[in-house]
Structure 1
């Protein structure tokens, strides 16, 4: 029917550029791959017997190393590197990954990921408002309030065995990871940050891995010499780290803000679904409602004018 419709009678919308489609696919792929990071890290802790700091060190060392090799091969590390910025980001990467994998040792994977990512809009908004010394815009304030409500309801996720201290510790670690990620976002936002985002992830991550190495060695970094453990380690470094971040920053060049929001929402959603399917984790009705509110808040936050993830 569309072929017989005269052009003068029905104005067709402008076609979406192919580059935007590619950007959307790349960002969606990044979100899906990021969502597997918590599962693979949890399995390394449970099956290979690695401590949270050891898993964090491996992810940063191997994943950051792979991205750094790619940067060298493509010539993106030419010139004088911003040493101070890389060192600061290296410390932040180390603390962020250590807290995140620490939360996975205490609470369910889906819960930890939702709290970590869901708290970022709250912390970023608070930081921006404190720096500007003014209250947030009404729509932004509404998104933050929705996120806070979601975080509160998300405590309906079944608590781990061992008592309330594990739940409290897991929430504290996940919120701490969200706070550190927010600090990293604020430090690296905008074109004047002075550091290539992929260099930040690659070289900064590698520095963070080196900083975590002493703690990882103290906790034990010996990996069982079996295919499952080696495969999990390779998967963690390659899929949710190296490939995911390369796909994200490649897609970010041409994708719309709505695609960025989709990638942001896809990560915790993927982690929650995989944790229920693969690990048998369950979520109460209140927990599901809290998760939905967090996803809505994250999407709204990234769709507001002028907002886009900076790391």
Structure 2
């Protein structure tokens, strides 16, 4: 028991760390877009290319796929990474970091539930209804127009993330999870490169811009996924499942502190309802 508890604690801490690091990705991407004048496609491409390189080289996720099944998996993951990241940063540009992140992360469990649950039990219905109500309140503020473009891209990002989760649920022989992430990011970056190049990928060679590029690829991408994969095996079931809540909360706090984004009272109520629904969804007392 003395060995099991510390292992679980470290794994749970790794998952919480992953959620916090993911929560800084939208902020870093927003800063890169504004300081370098980049289109969301270019921001997403820098994240995938730099993150994949860091994961493959520095984090030793470089076991190259050697079978046809592994290559197909990497290509599929790459396409979904490209869709997810491009849509997410488009949502950030059209709305805000906090709203885009909360909408994407909040909508994902609903989509997973609708895709996987055969019988809707009481707590499942509560979670789905709460999530939908939270998203409505989050997007709607009295006297302010709703960014339907931001909402649409956030939902598209959530769909990409959910599909990515479902595709990678079944492992492929000879392809480790970190290798899947590393080469999936690189494949996604290469697939996105023609479109990102068309939008313009040139950046000013200034220390602040280069630092944001490196941070975006290394910390909320490579390190966050490494921490997440590290924590999956032995995490405490409650803390592990609730770690997803830390991503939107981190994004909301940092965007308010550093970007001056302010949510209305209605939006904060929506965020509270959304977080509560996420907690219920990840820790429902009834079987699926």
Asked if these proteins are the same fold (TM beyond 0.5), I'd say yes
What residue number does 2:259 align with?
279
Q: Answer yes or no: is the 8 Å Cα contact 1:156–1:287 preserved in 2.
A: yes
CA distance in 2, matches of 1:74, 1:201: 8
What residue number does 1:36 align with?
24
Structure 2 length-normalised TM: 0.91
Cα deviations by residue, 1:269-305 (Å, 9 ceiling, x for unpaired): 0000111111111111211111111111222222237
Tell me if 1:97 matches 2:94. Answer: no
Tell me if 1:88 matches 2:68. Answer: no
Please report how far the alpha carbon of residue 108 of structure 1 lies from its aligned counterpart in structure 2 after TM superposition. Answer: 1.1
Q: Answer yes or no: is the 8 Å Cα contact 1:53–1:98 preserved in 2.
A: yes
Question: Which structure 2 residues correspond to residues 1-311 of structure 1 after superposition, within 5 A?
Answer: 17-70=5-58, 73=60, 76-77=63-64, 80=67, 82-129=70-117, 134-156=118-140, 164=146, 167-190=147-170, 196-304=176-284
The number of residues matched between the two structures is 287
What residue number does 1:10 align with?
none
CA distance in 2, matches of 1:86, 1:278: 36
CA distance in 2, matches of 1:254, 1:306: 22
- Segments of 5+ residues of structure 1 without an aligned counterpart are 1-12
CA distance in 1, matches of 2:143, 2:39: 21
Q: Answer yes or no: is the 8 Å Cα contact 1:107–1:159 preserved in 2.
A: no
Q: Answer yes or no: is the 8 Å Cα contact 1:48–1:223 preserved in 2.
A: yes
Q: Answer yes or no: is the 8 Å Cα contact 2:62–2:179 preserved in 1.
A: no
CA distance in 1, matches of 2:104, 2:164: 14
- Segments of 5+ residues of structure 2 without an aligned counterpart are none
Structure 1 length-normalised TM: 0.85
Q: Answer yes or no: is the 8 Å Cα contact 2:109–2:278 preserved in 1.
A: yes
SS for the counterpart of 1:291 is helix
Q: 1:125 to 1:207 in 2, by over 3 A?
A: same
CA distance in 2, matches of 1:213, 1:74: 22
CA distance in 1, matches of 2:151, 2:23: 18
